[in-house]
Amino acid sequence: MRTLIILTFLAVLVMAATCYESHESMESHEHYYPFINRRRANDFIQADTRLGAITQERIRERTKAPNERQREMCEDYYPCELYAYRHGYAAAYKHYFGRRRTK
């Protein structure tokens, strides 16, 4: 009988320790209402920074680095791509397209 009381007491302690909701978990009101208002959804992002980031991304898409242009050119030509797997894209571009002179 004494063992049963001790086991019951331990079970109650374990349950209390694992099921206790602290004040920190209740600080966020998402517990009661997980969805936020549409107007407040993007309050943490400033509109001008977002537009500036989009503009910068578009500029980077238009102007590619020379290495990236060479790599794309090499990827379009199958023998160059095979050579690049073994020796690298810089060496492959130089091997297949390095002798060309463009004006």
pLDDT in tens, 42-78: 666 666 666 777 777 777 767 778 888 888 888 889 9
**Which residue range is the domain that position 80 belongs to?**
65-102
Q: What is the pTM of this model?
A: 0.39
DSSP 20: P
Task: Tell me what pLDDT residue 32 has.
Answer: 62
Q: Does 10 reside within a domain? A: no
- Please check the confidence at residue 80 and state whether its pLDDT lies above 80: yes
Q: Does 96 reside within a domain? A: yes
> How far is 59 from 65, CA to CA, in rounded Å?
12
Residue 18 token pair = 């694992």
- Please check the confidence at residue 96 and state whether its pLDDT lies above 60: yes
Query: How many domains is the chain partitioned into structurally?
Result: 1
